[in-house]
Amino acid sequence: MESRCENCIIRQFNSLRAMSKEELKQVSDSKTVKTIKKGEPLFQEGDKLNGVYCVRNGVSKLSKLSSNGKDQIVKLASKGEVLGQRSVISEECTNLSAIAVDDMEVCFIPKESINNTLQKNPNFTMEVLRHMAHDLKEADDVIVNISQKTVKQRMAEAFLYLKNNFGEDEDGYLALTLSREDISNVVGTATESAIRIISEFKKKGLIVASGKKIGIKDERKLLELVEGF
Amino acid sequence: MESRCENCIIRQFNSLRAMSKEELKQVSDSKTVKTIKKGEPLFQEGDKLNGVYCVRNGVSKLSKLSSNGKDQIVKLASKGEVLGQRSVISEECTNLSAIAVDDMEVCFIPKESINNTLQKNPNFTMEVLRHMAHDLKEADDVIVNISQKTVKQRMAEAFLYLKNNFGEDEDGYLALTLSREDISNVVGTATESAIRIISEFKKKGLIVASGKKIGIKDERKLLELVEGF
DNA sequence: TCCCTAAACTGACATTTGTCATAGTATTCC
DNA sequence: GGAATACTATGACAAATGTCAGTTTAGGGA
C-alpha cells in the first residue's frame, strides 16, 4: 500500500481529507506504520495517548471495562477510521481500550502534527468537529437501544449492523467474524444468553451459522424483530 | 439578568467564552430570549434547528423516543449549557427532544451567528470541539453503566449524579425534583421498578423522601451499591 | 373547600436474563 | 498426532425486571 499520506486513499474516509498538501506531507514524515496482531491492544483504557491511530486494515474493538469485570464494546472501527482523537483533543487519558479483532495495519500520527493542523487549518477542525458530532449522535442511539430494547432485539440489530458496516463475503457470511463473547460484549449481555439467542435465530431460520461464521438469512424478519413484533 | 451577551456570566460555563467582543456583540444583537414553561418543549426529535439554545435558568431533559413507546433521557442540561449544537454543526435534524423540567429562560442564538464564528474564530471551534469530546466520553460511560449495571445500581448512581450536578436545597433534599417517571426514564427502567427501588432505599435508610422531594441520607452506602457490594 | 385527575404506590404474576455446572467441539502448540 | 486449552453449547435454576390491575395520595382548578 501507498506509504505517503498524500496519496493514501484511506484518508478519503476521515477528517484527514481536509488537510492541505503541506500538512499531509508533515503528517507523512512524522507517522509510523504499525502492525498489530489479532488480540493485541493498540492502547488500553487509562493510557495517555501521544497521537492518533489511522486504521489501514483490519478491525479494532473499542471497549471499556465495567466494575462487574465485563467489557462493553462501544464501537467497532475499521479501515479509514481514526482512533484516539478524543483523547488527544481533550488532553485526557483515554477512556477506552482498542484491541485488534483482526490482524491490523495502522498509521500512528503523533499528536503534534494533529494539534498543529488543528490550530492552523479551520477546515480541518470543522471536519473533526463534524465527525465527532456524528459519533455523539450514534452514541445516543446506542444508549436508547441498549436501555429500551430486549437482548433479543439488540442481537438482531447487531447482526444487521455487522452486515451494513462490514458487509458479507462471497458465501454470504458476515465479513467480520466475532467470537460469541465479543458479540455478547457488543450487545451487552451474558455470553450464554448470546449463544442461546443465536441458536434460537438459527432454528427460526433468521440466520445460518457454520462455526464462527454467521450469515443473515431473513433480513426482513430480523428488522421486524428489532422494531418489536 | 443582564441581557447583553458580552456581560452575561452564564457564558463563562460554555464555549461562548471563546468568542471575541465583536462576535459576542453580533450574537447579542441576533439572539432572542425565550421563556419556556415546565413541560413545554424547546424542540422535538426530528426538528430542523435554526440555532442553538443557551440555558439561563431552569433544567431541560434531552430525550429520545424508543420504538417501544418509552422515552429515554440521555442528558439533563442546566444553566450555562448550550443545546442543539450538534444538530447545527452537522446540519441534520436533531435526534433528541428537549423538554423543560422546570420553568426555563433560554437565549436562542440563530445558527448564522454560530456558523459565522466557527468559520472565523479557530479558538471558538476548538472550544466547541473540546466540549463535544467531553460529551462523547460521558456518553460512553452511560453506555457502559446502562448495559453492565443492574437497575438498582443505576438508580443509586442517578441519585448521586443529581446531587453532584444540581446540588441540594437548604433542607438537604436534591435541588432538582424529578417525577418518578422522569427518574425511570433517566435510569432506563419501568416506572414501577423505579418506585419500588425508591421504597427499598427508603426502608434501608439510604435516602429520605417527602412527596416528590428526595434526599440522600447515606451517600457512602449508595456509592458502595454502585460499585457492586 | 371539594372534586377530579394525575401521579405515586403495592401486589401478583409472567417473562427475561443471568449464573453455575457440565459436556461437546475447535484450535493451538509441542 | 495428541494433549492442552479455549470456545461453543445446553440444561437447570435463581434472580432481576417488566406488566397488569387496582388502590391510595396529592395537588390544582372550579
B118-128 pLDDT, tens digit each: 988 989 999 99
Cα distances from B87 to residues A133, B22, B93, in angstroms, run 8, 25, 6
- Give the relative orientation of helices A21-30 and A111-120 as an angle to the nearest 10 degrees: 170
**B202 pLDDT exceeds 60?**
yes
What average pLDDT does chain B have? 92
Mean pLDDT, rounded, for B24-29? 92
* Nearest beta carbon to residue B227 from set A67, A137, A148: A67
| Residues of A whose CB is below 8 A from B226 | 67
DSSP-assigned letters across all residues of B73-123? EEEEE-TT-EESHHHHHHTS--SSEEEESS-EEEEEEEHHHHHHHHHH-HH
Phi, psi (rounded to 5 degrees) for A212:
-80, -20
B90 contacts A143? CB cut-off 8 A? no
Mean pLDDT, rounded, for B163-183? 94
Do A154 and A143 form a contact (C-beta atoms < 8 A)?
A: no
B95 contacts A137? CB cut-off 8 A? yes
| Residues of B whose CB is below 8 A from A143 | 72, 74, 139, 142-143, 146
In this prediction, residue A2 carries a pLDDT of 60
Q: Is B138 on the interface with A (CB under 8 A)?
A: no
The parts of chain A modelled with pLDDT lower than 50 are: none
CB atoms within 10 A of CB B204: 12
Nearest alpha carbon to residue B90 among A122, A66, A128:
A128
Residue A185 CA to D16 C1' — how many Å?
20
Do B77 and B50 form a contact (C-beta atoms < 8 A)?
A: no
CB neighbours of A79 closer than 8 A, spacing ≥ 6?
A10, A13, A55, A56, A57, A58
**B140 pLDDT exceeds 80?**
yes
Measured distance CA(B170)–CA(A157) in Å, rounded: 47
CB atoms within 10 A of CB A3: 11
State the Cα angle at A186 between A183 and A190, rounded to 5°: 65
Cα distances from B183 to residues A102, B47, B186, B194, in angstroms, run 41, 25, 5, 7
Which residue(s) pair with B65 in the sheet? B71
Measured distance CA(A184)–CA(A197) in Å, rounded: 10
Compute the nearest-CA separation of A149 from chain B (Å).
Answer: 8
CB atoms within 10 A of CB A38: 12
pLDDT in tens, A174-212: 999 999 999 999 999 999 999 999 999 999 999 999 889
> Whose grid coordinates read 457564558?
B11
Compute the nearest-CA separation of B169 from chain A (Å).
Answer: 31
pLDDT band at B88 (very low <50, low <70, confident <90, very high): very high
A–B CB contacts, 8 A cutoff, strictly below? 134
In this prediction, residue A154 carries a pLDDT of 96
| Residues of B whose CB is below 8 A from A129 | 89, 118, 125, 128-129, 132
Q: Kindly state the helix (H) or strand (E) to which residue A193 belongs, with its residue range.
A: helix A191-203
Question: Is strand C in 7 Å reach of the CB of B196?
Answer: yes
A149 contacts B64? CB cut-off 8 A? no
Which residue's CA is nearest to the C1' of nucleotide D26?
B211
Residue B59 CA to chain centroid, in angstroms?
A: 7
Compute the nearest-CA separation of B133 from chain A (Å).
Answer: 5
ipTM attached to this prediction: 0.90
Sign of torsion over alpha carbons B215, B221, B223, B227: negative
CB neighbours of B196 closer than 8 A, spacing ≥ 6?
none
In this prediction, residue A14 carries a pLDDT of 82
Measured distance CA(A86)–CA(A106) in Å, rounded: 17
Compute the nearest-CA separation of A190 from chain B (Å).
Answer: 10
Percent of chain B with pLDDT over 70: 98
Comparing alpha-carbon positions, the chain B residue that sits nearest to A146 is B147
Measured distance CA(A139)–CA(A160) in Å, rounded: 17
Question: Is strand D in 7 Å reach of the CB of A212?
Answer: yes
Nearest alpha carbon to residue A26 among A150, A117, A132:
A117
pLDDT band at B11 (very low <50, low <70, confident <90, very high): confident
| Residues of A whose CB is below 8 A from B69 | none
Nearest alpha carbon to residue B197 among B147, B144, B159:
B159
Measured distance CA(B207)–CA(A172) in Å, rounded: 55
Phi, psi (rounded to 5 degrees) for A169:
-85, -175
> Whose grid coordinates read 458580552?
B6
Compute the nearest-CA separation of B56 from chain A (Å).
Answer: 24
Kindly state the cell numbers that stand for A186. Answer: 457488543
3 state SS of B211? coil
Q: Is A69 left (phi over 0), alpha (psi -120 to 50) or beta?
A: left
* Nearest beta carbon to residue A147 from set B67, B86, B188: B188
Cα distances from A195 to residues A73, A103, A192, B109, B191, in angstroms, run 17, 25, 5, 51, 31
Do A39 and A100 form a contact (C-beta atoms < 8 A)?
A: yes
pLDDT in tens, B42-59: 999 999 999 999 999 999
List the beta strands (DSSP E) in chain B: 32-36, 41-43, 51-57, 60-65, 71-77, 82-83, 97-100, 104-110, 207-210, 213-216
A70 contacts B136? CB cut-off 8 A? no
Residue A153 CA to chain centroid, in angstroms?
A: 21
A130 contacts B89? CB cut-off 8 A? yes
pLDDT band at B61 (very low <50, low <70, confident <90, very high): very high
Nearest alpha carbon to residue B126 among A134, A88, A188:
A88
- pTM, entire model: 0.91
Residue A227 CA to C12 C1' — how many Å?
29
Do B198 and B181 form a contact (C-beta atoms < 8 A)?
A: no
Q: Is B140 on the interface with A (CB under 8 A)?
A: yes
